[in-house]
Structure 1
Amino acid sequence: MESGNRSSPQLRRAACNSNVERMKTTSPSVIVIGGGIGGLSAARALHDASFQVMVLESRDRLGGRVHTDYSFGFPVDLGASWLHGVCKDNPLAPLIGRLGLPLYRTSGDNSVLYDHDLESCALFDVDGKQVPQELVAKVGEAFESILEETDKVRQEFSEDMSIRRAFSIVFDRRPDLRLEGLAHKVLQWYLCRMEGWFSADADTISVKCWDQEELLPGGHGLMVRGYLPVVNTLAKGLDVRLGHRVTKIARRYNGVKVTVEDGTTFAADAAVIAVPLGVLKANIIKFEPKLPDWKEAAIADLGIGLENKIALHFDKVFWPNVEFLGVVAETTYGCSYFLNLHKATGHPVLVYMPAGQLAKDIEKMSDEAAANFAYLQLKNILPDASDPIHYLVSHWGTDVNSLGSYSYDEVGKSHDLYERLRIPVDNIFFAGEATSMEYPGSVHGAFATGQMAAEDCRMRVLERYGELDLFQPVMGEDGSVSVPLLISRM
């Protein structure tokens, strides 16, 4: 197999001509740290509000954990790829609609349990025998009943516990909900998909908080052309410095000084921090003075999970015309999940999506070994599978620029940690999916918090300048234009 992971930088690196750089303007100035969706959303809003904005990004590309790769000759998202909540109320809907980007609706269900409708799936056991669709539906109903009983458990217990522990209590109380044989394996697959939603194992997910996020209507829509057009639109016209890894942020009464890895320092009135939670946890960025204890506690206590993608490109389609293929097993660790991109995009690609401990173990492999591992899972259920001609492998856990995929609620921790992480500290503001109490772990959550950080920053800075105009919009008049989303379903 040939690796398709070729580098093609989209933006040139900006050279630093001095050791200290201050924006040469009398306008309010802001440094945005992190060029993901949250950071670009904030930068776009502040730029449109006539602020001088500089974006410092450690990678050689923009997008962060949104990464559309074109190595196969067409777009494949190795990071975020869905719009969760295909409706006009989604904060990203106006932008996606104006760009005319098509969505392929993979589910009309708004539950966090499924991102695909179950009638468009094919599940197999490890011996390659397909699971009857009637059994898949029956176990799905049982899973819903188990969750209803789980809710009763969490109402009765004052202390938090893991989803897995709560399930164990349910089975002790309701032996009739225990499943055996193939049905048990299918139930493990359902739980595996739930783990995939949170990018974490069931024994770490909080039963108190697992369903506290706000679920938008409209189901889940796959970005057919990838998320890169959204990234490029938000970044258009911005002062972006790629390859600038921030190592220190010093805040003073009259501004901030931001130092990057080569020692260059940038100064501005304020800063928006939109780096991944994993980066904050690793203390890669030093704060002077240090962040308040409550802020450090929020960073430490929020969970960061891991889900990766292994995209396999074939020369022809040999699999069923369903949205996903699944492998059921005795444990969630042994279950597998393949997204069928051909059904949505017309390209012969299957994407293997391991999460939790399995994703961590696969990240220890070489790219070739990881691709072979995914291919062997496929070969077990489809013995006539042809060899892939290219592959792509993500590494969100070991990548120093992310150190994880997205946030989730760990056992024993409060859901309001997201809001604590969002709250500004002096003239430093925070954005990103881990600061969204309503939509954690989502692209639209990151986008929305970028807008909030920008407005908080705008008001704080202009208030200090004595120029605050409460009626000045951040996004401008075009931000309210409503354009219908282009949604297909084959």
Structure 2
Amino acid sequence: MDSQSNKSNRHLQAAICYSGSRHAASPSVIVIGAGFSGIAAARALHDASFQVIVLESRDRIGGRVRTDYSLGFPVDLGASWLHGVCNENPLAPLIGRLGLPLYRTSEDNSVLYDHDLESYALFDMDGKKVSQELVSKTDVIRQDHSEDMSMQRAISIVLERRPDLRLEGLAQKVLQWYICRMEGWFAADADTISLKNWDQEQLLPGGHGLMVRGYLPVINTLAKGLDIRLSLRVTEIFRHHNGVKVTVEDGSTFVADAAVVTVPLGVLKSNCIKFEPRLPAWKEEAINGLGVGLENKIVMHFETVFWPNVEFLGVVADTSYGCSYFLNLHKATEHSVLAYMPAGQLARDLERMSDEAATNFAFMQLKRILPNASPPIQYLVSRWGSDENSLGSYSYDIVGTPHDLFEKLRTPVDNLFFAGEATSMDYTGAVHGAYSTGLMAAENCRMRVLERYGELDIFQPVMCEEVPVSVPLLISRM
């Protein structure tokens, strides 16, 4: 690895002209992070004839996209939906051309975000099924407030001011399940989610589609032919007026004209990467001001299917912490699999357990509503919060911070460009958001570097334009 790193260092260093004269070789860029945004940026810059090297701390590409095959079939332990099953989605052309099937789990404006009410089963803690009529009548009215506050506090205020909306008994538990699903969408607890900004995200039309074969084929296609160096953890990024120098954990250094930083927000918050000179105050404000949520998956593979033929199973309880949510992957994949998906504090508490203990906890929740459930024969547990390469699942607006922090996080600093789901104003927490920001960072980087050396061609088409999709998306609804 050392010899490869030194060879790469010499190769990239030859591409930099510190004297300020015109390039003798192709411009060069270092992309830090091989998640969707990093691979998208590297692909675009590579195709624009830049010398590109990708440095990735993991031993695999994908970042918070992780398709696992150890059960004998693909299961996404990270991102698994295409949010917005439509040709307007920037990932649609690629997914369509690859012929990857999608399973639509909701139509437009689903009240449960990634699921409709038409294919669910809710149970109380005693295993009794909750009627659909009761679920449909449970709603919370959003009130306008002059100051920002948490969603939890706002709900409490609404119920205090409107006695007619107060719920008791089973109806109150159903309300807590709604809050549980909102916490799952933001991967955060309701007492930290901003009331003012919680609905600033834009939802593309077409509802939500589950990637039946996983996201790995998509990112593998984007990564073909790229120079990607795995297991290289970046520790320092030094920038000056005409180049960058990146140092990795073993002391090796890489130099280039510019760098695209796509590491997760949780990693930026940990300060494990030193920026020299220090990032400006407005950039640090964005890093520190945005929230990083946590949602995990405990995937349980069973011998046979013993649950109802619905898209998800829910357990209502007195608090959102006590509620449960199981995604039925059998409907989409025909494999006898349920995925338990805890978020917020519950997800953090489960990460303190062993894989076996966490799986047993999820299974006991299932046994509450299905007493005859048989134990899983295999299981998988994600740990995005304790994973040093992610330190969280995805970003969200916390109480009291402006929504434009996402834009500030994306804004370049000299010859450092930033991308990732946390830099997307409109599609935070989504794969297509990460992908789009990778393309934007690449285009900004290309223009800035070529402008510096007087090689910018105003007649050259923008490289992130997509060819219109000619292959329809393969969408099913069983």
Q: TM-score, normalised by structure 2?
A: 0.95
- Compute the displacement of 1:475 (Å): 4.1
Where do 5+ consecutive residues of structure 2 fail to align?
16-24
From 222, 233, 240, the equivalent of 1:252 is 240
Cα distance in structure 1, aligned partners of 2:3 and 2:100: 30
Q: 2:76 is matched with which residue? A: 77
Given the alignment of the two structures, is residue 425 of structure 1 paired with residue 413 of structure 2, yes or no?
yes
Aligned 8 A contact 1:36 1:64 in 2: yes
Question: Which position in structure 2 is the counterpart of 1:100?
Answer: 99
- Aligned partner of 2:108: which letter? D
- Give distance in 1, aligned partners of 2:190 and 2:8: 48
**How do 1:194-343 and structure 2 match up within 5 A?**
194-343=182-331
Q: Does the 8 Å contact 2:329/2:339 carry over to 1? A: yes
Tell me if structure 1 keeps the 8 A contact 2:120–2:312.
yes
User: Compared with structure 1, are the counterparts of its residues 476 and 190 closer, same or farther at alpha carbon in structure 2 (3 Å cutoff)?
Assistant: closer
Shift of 1:104: 0.3
| Equivalent position SS for 1:407 | strand
> How big is the shift at 1:91?
1.1
User: Partner of 2:19 in structure 1?
Assistant: none
1:249 CA displacement: 0.2
Give the count of matched residue pairs: 468
| Structure 1 pair 205–263 and aligned structure 2 pair: CA distance change class (3 A) | same
1:434 to 422, 438, 442: 422
Structure 1 residue 124 corresponds to structure 2 residue 123: yes
Cα gap change, 1:173 to 1:478, in 2 (>3 Å): closer
| Correspondence for 1:453 | 441
1:381 aligns with 2:380: no
Matched, 1:391 2:379: yes
CA distance in 1, matches of 2:233, 2:36: 17
Question: 4+ runs of 1 displaced by more than 6 Å?
Answer: none
- Counterparts in 2 of 1:13 and 1:399: CA distance versus 1, 3 Å: farther
Alignment of 1:8-47 (within 5 A): 15-17=4-6, 20-23=9-12, 24-25=14-15, 26-47=25-46
C-alpha displacement of 1:484 = 1.4
For 2:21, the equivalent position in structure 1 comes to: none
Deviations 1:80-108 (A, max 9, x none): 00000111111111111111111000000
After superposition, the C-alpha distances for 1:446-481 in whole angstroms (9 at most, x for unaligned) are 000001000000000000121101332454886444
**Change in CA separation of 1:209 and 1:478 when aligned onto 2, cut-off 3 Å:** closer
SS of the residue 1:375 aligns to: helix
RMSD (CA atoms)? 1.6
- Whether contact under 8 Å (2:299, 2:380) holds in the other structure is yes
Find the residue that maps to 2:5 and give its secondary structure.
coil
AA partner of residue 134 (structure 2): L
**SS at 1:119 equivalent:** coil
Deviation of 1:18 after TM superposition, in Å, equals 5.7
The AA in structure 2 aligned to 1:428 is L
Q: Which residue in 1 is equivalent to 2:458?
A: 470
Question: What is the CA-CA distance between 1:138 and the residue it aligns to?
Answer: 2.2
Distance 1:14 1:323, change over 3 A: farther
Q: Which stretches in structure 1 are left out of the alignment for 5+ residues?
A: 1-11
**Identity across aligned pairs (percent)?**
76
3-state secondary structure, aligned to 1:193: helix
SS at 2:288 equivalent = helix
After superposition, the C-alpha distances for 1:16-59 in whole angstroms (9 at most, x for unaligned) are 34694442551010000000001011001111111111000000
Do structure 1's residue 416 and structure 2's residue 415 form an aligned pair?
A: no
The answer to whether the aligner puts 1:362 opposite 2:350 as a matched pair is yes
Q: 1:478 to 1:201 in 2, by over 3 A?
A: closer
Q: Structure 2: how far apart are the matches of 1:273 and 1:285?
A: 11
User: In 2 relative to 1, CA 85–19 (structure 1 residues): closer, same or farther, beyond 3 Å?
Assistant: closer
- Of 391, 416, 436, 1:403 maps to 391
> Is the contact made by 1:112 and 1:211 (CA closer than 8 Å) also made in structure 2?
no
Partner residue, 1:3: none
Query: 8 Å contact 2:6–2:252 — kept in the other structure?
Result: no
Report SS of the residue matched to 2:95: helix
Does the C-alpha gap of structure 1 residues 299 and 478 become closer, same or farther in structure 2, counting only changes over 3 Å?
A: closer
Q: How does 1:148-167 map to 2 (within 5 A)?
A: 150=142, 153-154=143-144, 157-167=145-155
1:16 match: secondary structure: helix
Moved more, 197-206 or 472-481: 472-481
**Contact 1:112–1:194, Cα closer than 8 Å, also in 2:** no
Match of 2:336 in 1: 348
Secondary structure of the corresponding residue to residue 231 of structure 2: coil
Three-state SS of the structure 1 residue aligned to 2:135 is helix
Q: Secondary structure at the match of 1:462?
A: helix
Aligned equivalents of 1:28, 1:453: Cα separation in 2: 15
Q: How far has the Cα of 1:112 moved from its partner?
A: 6.8
Are residues 21 and 245 of structure 1, via their aligned partners in 2, closer, same or farther at CA, if it must alter by over 3 Å?
farther
- 1:136 CA drift (Å): 1.9
